[in-house]
Amino acid sequence: MALPSSSQRFPLLNVLLWGNTVALSWVWGLGLFFSVQFTVEFGLKGLLTFLIPNCLGLFLFGAVTDVIAKRYPGSESLATFFNNWSRPFRLVFFLYQIIAISLTFFALIRYGWQPLGLHPDSLYLPLTALIILAGGILFGEEFSIRRIKYSHAAFLALILLCVVIIIAELGSPYFRGIARPGLFSTHDLNFWGYVIPICIGFLVGPWLDLQQWQRAIQMRRENTSITASYAVGALIFGAILLFHGILALWAMEGGASKYIQMGLADYPYAESLLTRVFSAPPANPWLLGAYLTFLSGCILTTLDSGYIALRWFLQSNASKSQHPIFSLIPERLISSPIPPMILCALIAVTGAAIGIELEYFMIFFATFFVGYSVLAIGRAFMNGPVNVIPQVKMFCIGSTAVVIFAYGYFLHQPIFQILASLLPLGYVVWLLFKPFVGEDFTTGGEELEQPSVASVVPLTPVNTVLTPAPTGTHDISGHFEDKWFVHTFIATYADTNSVGNVYFGMYAMWVGKTRELLFNRLMPKFNLKETPFYILTRSFEHKFVRETREFETVSVKIRVAGHNRKFATLEHEVYDSTGSLLGKGSQSLLFVSSTDYKMIDIPNDVMTAFLAYS
């Protein structure tokens, strides 16, 4: 008898542990340091405006993925969904992670180390980056996704200790800073030029974060409530940002405005404010040490999470890909997260050396990735082709949004910042709901290539109409069970291979035969010589679950899973006589004119025949 796991014995403890690691993995450089910037500019109201959408987006991600995970039974339901759903977004996931990790490296170097004034930069800058890089890789190698919740529990204890030391050293002046007004009014259009992009970016941002997907999948495997864990994570994350923002208000109350730097386009930059305040002579070693430890703990828990997530993502894709590059480059090199982490460190060091600011990284999360995030959310709930996305169009819209936002930022025209964030959102809504949506989710080759006559396989023989012939238990031409069309038969010697198991190719032939019978049942007057259209198989996939043998009774079920203007999707399942699943899969059908073989909309005859079963 197997012993219950810790998650089964202590479900509440597991929720708290997972909630904590969710929070710490989301406290990356953007949230940690831009909370200071926004608080200095707009006061406590600005801090809450920044904090609430951030926490809400994190919680909603957990709640929605919990719903997705419960669509199907089993601990691997969310992992299976992610493997299929994320396929067209793999490059975007990778780019998102690279920019997020680079930003986090950069933020700690630029705002946690450079204000200390250690010289020469050419010596200390690469050494500091190396220390941060080594720490992230070390903790990432030491802890897997199953054990990271324990290491992050220790990090949270260290962070809380630093918070207690800082508040105890500052005393009541820390809390009096809450009443400190910001440098700018929240009634100014500049405020909304930040708030609207922040709300849009943070509400959909977690959907492209590999760290969050990996956590949600592992929670599902451990039978831990994803919704509850992300609710706890959102609260812990919000508490950390609230502490850091109020600390900035305390500094401003004490006259720290002299440490605000004026940068490009005459913008004030205050992300390094607290490091400058705590390191200014006469420095309090307890305050400075506690604050730098607080920053390091928050950053390292993001970097080790990023390392583990990249390793999971790269190894998964390397093991499944058939790309010829894997025959030229060792798989261990391609699947290792160390080269991407080194790239992130180099980007961060270069950015810190030339003196750019956090906002230059932030622009991508408020514009470029918004469209991909919204499209990913939409396609998690909409039926349709899932193998491709309109990459060129999405890239052009995202790049245009980045440029528009940059113009608005540098020219002090917040209306352009707002429009830039809304542009990808509006385009994706149009892309998902426009009447000819199917055309955007095909490859160029599929639209231009004309199928040859030889590739047109008739679904039924000319003028052949099968008639029901009861045999006592079932109809040999198939029958309907709700919306599933079922064909039952007995596997024989001709279906097997040399060792007596059914040959793998027979499953596809069985599905094809069942599809023929389905079309014959619903369109009995179909005539290949007179038809104005042909039905072609666009794609076919089948997952083998278990094997079967000679003389086993097999049932093939097939149904219409979805359709749009151009394509129809069929799902199939194969069972044995005990009701055990042998395999399942899907296929996509397209329709072409019988005269010139050009792709056409789904014919009315087909729509009418299948409408009751779709």
- pLDDT tens, 565-589? 788 889 999 998 888 899 999 999 9
pLDDT computed for residue 320 by the predictor: 58
If you write DSSP's letter for every residue of 227-253 in order, what string do you get? Answer: HHHHHHHHHHHHHHHHHHHHHHHHHHH
| 509 & 607 share domain | yes
| 357 & 241 share domain | yes
Quote the domain boundaries for residue 562.
453-613
| 401 & 467 share domain | no
pLDDT computed for residue 2 by the predictor: 46
Task: For residue 504, tell me if it sits in a domain.
Answer: yes
What pairs with residue 556 in β-bridges? 487, 574
pLDDT computed for residue 6 by the predictor: 55
Q: What are the tokens at 454?
A: 């030889």
Cα separation, 373 vs 201, whole angstroms: 9
Listed residues 334, 366, 398: the one ending a domain: 366
| 294 & 155 share domain | yes
Cα separation, 97 vs 209, whole angstroms: 7
| 500 & 390 share domain | no
Q: What are the tokens at 376?
A: 């990913």
Listed residues 339, 366, 393: the one ending a domain: 366
pLDDT computed for residue 459 by the predictor: 40
Task: For residue 446, tell me if it sits in a domain.
Answer: no
Task: For residue 142, tell me if it sits in a domain.
Answer: yes
Q: Which residues of the chain have pLDDT under 50?
A: 1-3, 384-387, 443-473
| 462 & 385 share domain | no
* Pair 481, 557: CB distance under 8 Å: yes
Task: For residue 447, tell me if it sits in a domain.
Answer: no
Rounded to 5 degrees, what are φ and ψ at 300?
-65, -35
| 325 & 350 share domain | yes
pLDDT computed for residue 177 by the predictor: 81
* Pair 202, 57: CB distance under 8 Å: yes
The helix, strand and coil proportions of the chain, stated in percent and rounded to the nearest 5, come to 65, 10, 25
Cα separation, 287 vs 277, whole angstroms: 10
Task: For residue 355, tell me if it sits in a domain.
Answer: yes
| 401 & 475 share domain | no
| 437 & 316 share domain | no
Task: For residue 448, tell me if it sits in a domain.
Answer: no
| 15 & 143 share domain | yes
SS3 label, residue 599 = strand
| 357 & 382 share domain | no
CATH number at residue 348: 1.20.1740.10
- pLDDT tens-digit readout, 344-367: 999 999 999 998 888 888 899 999
CATH number at residue 503: 3.10.129.10
Task: For residue 533, tell me if it sits in a domain.
Answer: yes
Total count of domains within the chain: 3
* Pair 470, 417: CB distance under 8 Å: no
Listed residues 383, 415, 441: the one ending a domain: 441
pLDDT computed for residue 184 by the predictor: 83
pLDDT computed for residue 404 by the predictor: 96
Task: For residue 1, tell me if it sits in a domain.
Answer: no
How does strand 268-269 pair with strand 261-262? antiparallel
SS3 label, residue 479 = strand
By the 10 Å C-beta count (0-12 exposed, 13-18 middle, 19+ buried), 45 is classed as middle
Task: Check residue 111 and report its DSSP letter.
Answer: I
| 500 & 351 share domain | no
Q: With b meaning 16 or more CB within 10 Å and e meaning fewer, what string describes 495-521? A: bbeeeeebeeebbbebbbebbbbbbbb
